[in-house]
Amino acid sequence: MGETSFVAFLTQDDRIRHYHFSVKGEITEFTVQYEAFILGKWHPVIRYDTAHGFAHLDRMYPDGSIEKAPLFYWDYNEALTFAQYDIKSNWQWYRQRYEKEMKR
């Protein structure tokens, strides 16, 4: 069994919070979350996790609402790999979307 948890900074105002737990090389749960420091506060913007018993994407909005999109076609190992890739590749776009929503 193995548990891994860390925070990786992309910039001083952007970070990825990562957690996963594995048994014999198989991921049994994970959370990968992109957070942005905006107006003096850290905001969760995008989160991939296995809460509620299935892998899914949560898109957070400044008003507190969350849009959930299930990832039904991947096992947890594949979903975790995709989550890491997606956030590292698209965090700037996710931040822009979130900041635009804050102005509404």
Residue 42: domain span: 2-102
Q: How far is CA 48 from CA 61, 81, 99, 104, in A?
A: 15, 11, 20, 25
- Domains held by the chain: number: 1
- Is residue 50 within 8 Å of residue 75, measured between CB atoms? no
pLDDT digits (tens, 9 = 90+) for 66-78: 999 999 878 999 9
pLDDT digits (tens, 9 = 90+) for 29-70: 999 999 999 999 999 999 999 998 899 999 999 999 999 999
pTM of the model: 0.94
